Amino acid sequence: MLRQRVITALILVGILFASLAAASPWPFALVTLALLAAGAWEWGRLNGAAEAVSRALGAAMALAGVLALAAGLAGVSLGSVWWLAVALWTLGGALVLRRGVPAWPQAPRLLRWLVGLALLMLAWAALIEARAVGINFMLSMLCVVWMADVAAYFGGKAFGRRKLAPAISPGKSWEGVWSGMAGVLLLALVWTVLDRRFGFDGPSLFTRLVQAHGSVVAALALLALCMLSVVGDLIESLVKRAAGAKDSSQLLPGHGGVLDRVDALLPVMPAALALASLAPR
């Protein structure tokens, strides 16, 4: 299993970095669109859609993304739309988690399908806009979630005592959350030093926040992003538990499905763009 997991991860990383290395933004946009369109297919299956409907959801997202690229809309700043996405994730996520697993299947299927499709489309648009801002910015945004996830895993293993949401994801603890936050703050400190030393292709998310608002506000903003990553993770766990599924699919050998890998990123990417909109580019 570990060997399979590592091989899949190396292949995915290789494809993504090859697409980033291209002079045109199209390869990266199309690769990430294909991944998130697969996530839309998974979302339909987890929410009671027939196979044909699930495929239609994935195809609808792929078509919408291609049309946006052809029209030159991909990468264009969506401004206040990102704050609407933050509000949707914050308020809607809190409501869904408060109501718990039993309430999720009671919501109309069509509403669940459309909300999932909209959130995935927003996440893709945020990723493409972040790529347009700069690769350093985009990678720092992604690494907020990756660091929070890794630090939470090891911190939870070492110190976990108080369960975060036992009815939704029994393995998560509050100590894991705090560890994830500490890891992200440490990452931000190191990354801002590297920004000053090397410059890269532009400032990272961390440097932009510090330059625009100071270290204290930047730290609070990063802690808020960490909490949103937890919300995204818990929402997907809740949906899978309601569907009686362990993984969102088996598309990625050793990893489960696309949603299993991007769940925490979905709310963080729009939120990072919303925060970046407050800082000069």
Among residues 217, 220, 216, 256, which one has the least CA distance to residue 236? 256
Instruction: Check residue 120 and give its pLDDT.
Output: 96
Dump pLDDT digits (tens) for 167-179. Answer: 999 999 999 999 9
Q: Are 207 and 275 in contact (CB under 8 A)?
A: no
Instruction: Check residue 75 and give its pLDDT.
Output: 72
Instruction: Check residue 23 and give its pLDDT.
Output: 81
In which band, very low, low, confident or very high, does the pLDDT at 218 lie, cut at 50, 70 and 90?
Answer: very high
Dump pLDDT digits (tens) for 49-91. Answer: 999 999 999 999 999 999 999 988 777 788 889 999 999 999 9
Q: What is the DSSP secondary structure assignment for residue 172, as one 8-state letter?
A: E
Q: Are 246 and 2 in contact (CB under 8 A)?
A: no
Q: Are 189 and 204 in contact (CB under 8 A)?
A: no
Please state, in angstroms and rounded to a whole number, the distance separating the CA atoms of residues 249 and 251.
6
pTM of this structure = 0.93
Least confident range of 107-111, 162-166, 217-221, 248-252: 248-252
Task: Spell out the domain ranges in the chain.
Answer: 2-276
The average confidence (pLDDT) of the chain is 92
Dump pLDDT digits (tens) for 137-149. Answer: 999 999 999 999 9
Please state, in angstroms and rounded to a whole number, the distance separating the CA atoms of residues 68 and 72.
6
Query: How many beta carbons lie within 10 A of that of residue 115, not counting itself?
Result: 16
